[in-house]
Amino acid sequence: MALTPIRRVVTGNDARGKSKVVWDDPSPGTHETQLPGAGGGQVKGRGHTDFWVWRETPPPLDGKEDAGLWDDEFPCPVGGGHQRVVHWLAKTAESPPNQPYKSPEPHGRTWDRGGGNHYNRSYMHKTRSVDYGIVISGERVMELDDCTLTLKPGDIVIDVGAWHLWDSSAKGCLMAFDMFDAEFVDGPAGTAQGNDKPMRPPENQKLPAGVKPQRRIVAIDREAGKSSLVGDTASPDVRTDPARPGFALQRMWVVDGFPAQLVYETLHLSHVLVPPAKGSVLNVFTFPPDAAWKGKVGAPEVAAYFKAMGAPEASTYSPQAPHPYMQKTRTLDLCIVLEGEIVLVLDTQEVTVKAGEIVVQRGTNHAWSNRSGKPAVISIASHGAK
């Protein structure tokens, strides 16, 4: 079978400056890898789909071109980044044996040490990038030099320039990656800088009803040529909104400049909703059904929420607005619905998005409205933009 189509919604503004949907269809940036099968035919279903590409930082928010169709490269464009989903196969009789491990070989801004087969198992590799990796479906194993981890849908990896290998032998997988340039201050070694203490969830951390703890895996090279697990815990920083019972924002990572630094921890930084001008924040939101709070929220409650998130200027609240929590920020937001379904509310239209679908939000006025009877979970990587 060919690559699984993945719906992508891209926002923009009309001639009056009102937010709208620009593209809404299966993302066209598909790249299927041609793999020879044992019987002489072609094995299909392995490759990647591009959703958005940027060649400069901060990325631009305007433009009429579909940047998901721009030429891309691995690990990402120099000076920029991209969001893509990789499609990997389960192990079958068509899968060749794994190649032996070897000494590191350079390939531009990537290095590999063998160990894979390109069907269901990647090579042990390292890229000059910081990667947000989010499992959408299936199962994937991450191998580091000091441990092996099994990832399930919704799990998030923060790969801080570390050596790693991916194995999808059990089930195959769809996994999203937001990758952007990193700074290797010690050349190709790309080891951790500084001594920021990794954060852990408080022992007494309690989540609102209906909110699941968000798994956060952080990997880095503590020493040259050897990757290490920094942490595998629930998010250590959970923010709530008293006006919306069941709402939670779980912080994952912050990048405070470009190119990104290779550090052990970033959640001591203050950025929550809005990243630095040349940085990024990754959050996972749980939105409870609107019915739980509808009619009980007004200007004071909305203002208190945005102030608590460090972004009072983001609110575009108005009694006439289509949703109380309308907001607008100068960010490129790459959004993945991980669970449930939710309505993206814009100035001129609404669109329902479901689990496994992706929204590219280009600095437009919007809100998220949960009109179902269950919580909806969305990961949002926000990049400072212009």
Q: Decide the pairing of beta strands 280-287 and 248-255.
A: antiparallel
Q: What pLDDT does residue 229 have?
A: 98
Question: H or E element: which one contains 86?
Answer: strand 81-88
Which tokens go with 267?
């959640």
Which tokens go with 10?
């891209």
Each of the 386 residues of the chain gets a pLDDT tens digit; together they read: 489 999 999 999 999 999 999 999 999 999 999 887 656 667 788 999 999 999 999 999 988 899 999 988 899 999 999 999 999 999 998 888 999 999 999 999 999 999 999 899 999 999 999 999 999 999 999 999 999 999 999 999 999 999 999 999 999 999 999 999 999 999 999 999 999 999 999 998 899 999 999 999 999 999 999 999 999 999 999 999 999 999 999 999 999 999 999 999 999 999 999 999 999 999 999 999 999 999 999 999 999 999 999 999 999 999 999 999 999 999 999 999 999 999 999 999 999 999 999 999 999 999 999 999 999 999 999 999 99
Residue given tokens 């069907």 in the structure block:
119
Alpha carbon distance 50, 333 (integer Å): 15
Alpha carbon distance 60, 66 (integer Å): 12
Q: What pLDDT does residue 40 have?
A: 62
Output the CA–CA distances (angstroms, integers) from residue 321 to 146, 161, 330, 353, in the order listed: 52, 43, 20, 21
Alpha carbon distance 86, 295 (integer Å): 42
Task: Output DSSP code: residue 301.
Answer: H
Residue whose C-alpha is closest to residue 159's, from 175, 178, 174 = 178
Q: Is 43 helix (H, G, I), strand (E, B) or coil?
A: strand
Neighbours of 71 (CB within 10 A): 8
Alpha carbon distance 135, 338 (integer Å): 9
Biggest alpha carbon distance in the chain? 67
